[in-house]
Amino acid sequence: MPTTARSRLVFRLLEDGITDPFHHFAVEEALLRGVDQGTSPNTLRLRRSVPSVWIGVYQEAMEDVDVDHCRRHGIPIVRRYNPGGAVYQDEGSFCFSLFFRQVPFFEHLGIAEPLELYPLVAEAVALTCADYGQKVSFSPTNDCTIAGRKVYGSAQVKWGEAFVHSGTFLVATDCAVMDRVLRPSRLKFADKGFNSVRERVITLSEAVGRPIPVQEVMHKLARHLARQLRLELEPGELLAGEQAVSQGLLENKYSRAEWTFPTRPTYRSVLSTKAQSGVVTLAADLQDGLLRAVEVRGDFLAPDQAELACLLASIRGLSPTAAVTPVAESQLPADVREALVRLLKELAAGDAG
């Protein structure tokens, strides 16, 4: 991993100008794959999007988005490759993604766990907002707030040896449209004192009381990230191999309806609870007291999708009670483990009754 004499890591600064949401996520996954394979460099990617809705990888569009309204108004919906909740994006917001190999980058930062990266990045967000006279609070697990209202959110994905930390910053987003297209469950806001998306969020422009140029904020954040994480940013472009991989992912995955709207089985038991990082829903079918089929949905944060998939495969055929132990001993984030244990115990109690 390249370094400078000042112990800064060299990261490519990528601004490719891709605003189509389907193409955007194809590029994101191509970069993640490339970093894992050693063919792509560490990268800070800055990006914006046309008006669109992005759902988390574990979510169901029909449960969290007004799909009919989006279709009537030509607002595309795409499933992200990362976890978290549904978001509305337009030209008034921007996103960034930090792509790197996990072990050496965490060693560079002096951290051991993915959760430790959230507050480090949040400090760069706070410094950016401070440039406009705004005080930001970090709201674990992954949000930043101004006066208790969300201005920034983030998510993470682990992919083999690679890792990506992504964030979304609301600068001048049309929050009225956001409120119309998103329909989170009551459980999502149960502990936050809000009744709607519009009450929950704030843009930087709204907080400051004047229009703020999105590009200006985006580049301020990039500079603060570089200082906070000790990065040396070198402008670059997408490599030919990255473009080829992203084109294949666009055609074969992200542009296909079955990726965003997969056909799901109907489950007899569907139970939900709130974890610190989001809502966790356990959908299951029991046969003779055993888990014949099981699925986990929601806007919770679990960066290692392979870990969750392996865990679910391992508990199929077990009773809900027997499934508690492997879930509790898994490598999932603690809040997600605890939520699943609660749901399995609730499922066991319901089956016994």
Evaluate whether residue 246 is within a structural domain: yes
Specify the pairing of strand 52-55 against strand 77-79: parallel
144 in the same domain as 51: yes
Checking if the pLDDT of 310 tops 60, the result is: yes
Domain that holds residue 213: 9-260
Q: What is the pLDDT of residue 193?
A: 67
Best CA proximity match to 31, nearest among 166, 215, 170, 121? 166
88 vs 80: CA distance, rounded Å: 12
Checking if the pLDDT of 112 tops 70, the result is: yes
214 vs 216: CA distance, rounded Å: 5
pLDDT band for position 318 (cuts 50, 70, 90): very high
CATH of the domain at 309: 3.30.390.50
- For helices 117-130 and 214-229, the axis angle rounded to 10 degrees is 130
277 in the same domain as 254: no
Evaluate whether residue 4 is within a structural domain: no
Residue 284 exposed, middle or buried by CB count within 10 Å (0-12, 13-18, 19+): buried
Q: What is the pLDDT of residue 352?
A: 65
Checking if the pLDDT of 1 tops 70, the result is: no
Rounded to the nearest integer, the mean pLDDT of the chain is: 95
Q: What is the pLDDT of residue 5?
A: 41
The structural domain count of the chain equals 2
Checking if the pLDDT of 4 tops 50, the result is: no
Q: What is the pLDDT of residue 184?
A: 87
214 vs 43: CA distance, rounded Å: 21
Residue 138 exposed, middle or buried by CB count within 10 Å (0-12, 13-18, 19+): middle
Q: Provide the whole-model pTM.
A: 0.93
pLDDT band for position 187 (cuts 50, 70, 90): confident
Residues 50, 89, 114, CA angle at the centre, nearest 5°? 125
Higher pLDDT, 264 or 79: 79
Evaluate whether residue 175 is within a structural domain: yes
Contacts of 346 (CB under 8 A, 6+ apart): 271, 273
Query: Chain-centre distance of CA 338, in angstroms?
Result: 20
Q: What is the pLDDT of residue 191?
A: 63
202 vs 199: CA distance, rounded Å: 8
Evaluate whether residue 22 is within a structural domain: yes
Average confidence (pLDDT) over 80-85: 95
Percent of the chain residues topping a pLDDT of 90: 93
Helix, strand, coil percent content, the chain, rounded in steps of 5: 40, 25, 30
pLDDT band for position 6 (cuts 50, 70, 90): low
Q: What is the pLDDT of residue 195?
A: 77
Q: Give the H or E element holding residue 26.
A: helix 21-37
Query: Chain-centre distance of CA 344, in angstroms?
Result: 25
Residues 28, 78, 25, CA angle at the centre, nearest 5°? 10
* 328-335: long-range contacts, CB 8 A cutoff, minimum separation 24: 331/304, 331/307, 332/302, 332/304, 332/307, 332/308, 333/115, 333/277, 333/300, 333/301, 333/302, 333/303, 335/141, 335/275, 335/276, 335/277, 335/300
217 in the same domain as 310: no
The per-residue pLDDT for range 49-69, each reduced to its tens digit, is 999 999 999 999 999 999 999
284 in the same domain as 235: no
240 in the same domain as 130: yes
Annotate 295-326 with DSSP letters as a single string: EEEES---S-HHHHHHHHHHHTTS-HHHHHHH
Q: At which residue do the structure tokens 């969020």 appear?
A: 201
Among 207, 237, 260, where does a domain finish? 260
3 state DSSP class of 75: coil
Amino acid (one-letter) located at 196: S
98 in the same domain as 227: yes
155 vs 166: CA distance, rounded Å: 5
CATH of the domain at 185: 3.30.930.10
pLDDT band for position 200 (cuts 50, 70, 90): very high
290 in the same domain as 238: no
Phi, psi of 257 (to 5 degrees): -60, -35
245 in the same domain as 277: no
Evaluate whether residue 2 is within a structural domain: no
Best CA proximity match to 70, nearest among 50, 92, 91, 93? 50
